[in-house]
């Protein structure tokens, strides 16, 4: 079953509730910027960055960013893909929060964490709306040494 947050995003009250929950969780944390993974991570991440009075940094699919980038390859169910970040977006030693809509197998999120780390930043935590625990992505991310915070879980297919 495909999980999607677009109905949550279109409902102003539910969208605001979601962002409020993230703000409560991260309000007093030492975070320098919010990083969002294309594309739903942009929506969540930019709203959260605004509410936390932080900057927002996009991670995009290969070839979509205009300036010099650094990339990280990751496995998909059906092959490989690459994500990129602007080389100058991260300052050495920054603490960043990585956002996306959900975690399934964890491949893209792990690549994002590795990409941020490659540029010398610390991943404070990964913030997700949904975890799909049967796909074990959260376990994979935590096994790699990164923390994950999610608002909801959906079991099963």
Q: Which residues are catalytic?
A: 40, 77
CB 137 within 8 A of CB 120: no
The CA-CA-CA angle for residues 105, 106, 110, to 5°, reads 155
Q: DSSP per residue over 27-70, as a string? A: TTS---EEEEETTHHHHHHHHHHHHHT-EEEEEEETT--SS-EE
Listed in order, strand segments (DSSP E) in the chain are 33-37, 55-61, 69-76, 79-86, 95-103, 122-131, 148-153
């Amino acid at each position: 079953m495909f999980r999607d947050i677009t109905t949550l995003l279109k409902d102003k009250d539910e969208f605001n509730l979601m962002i409020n929950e993230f703000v409560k969780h991260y309000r007093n944390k030492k975070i320098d910027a919010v990083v969002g993974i294309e594309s739903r991570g942009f929506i969540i991440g930019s709203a959260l960055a605004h509410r936390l009075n932080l900057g927002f940094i996009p991670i995009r699919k290969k070839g979509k960013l205009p300036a010099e980038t650094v990339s990280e390859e990751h496995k998909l169910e059906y092959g490989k893909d690459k994500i990129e970040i602007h080389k100058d977006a991260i300052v050495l030693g920054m603490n960043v929060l990585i956002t996306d809509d959900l975690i399934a197998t964890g491949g893209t999120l792990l690549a994002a964490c590795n990409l941020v780390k490659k540029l010398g930043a610390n991943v404070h935590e990964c913030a997700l709306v949904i975890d799909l625990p049967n796909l074990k992505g959260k376990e994979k991310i935590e096994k790699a040494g990164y923390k994950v915070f999610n608002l909801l879980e959906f079991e099963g297919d």
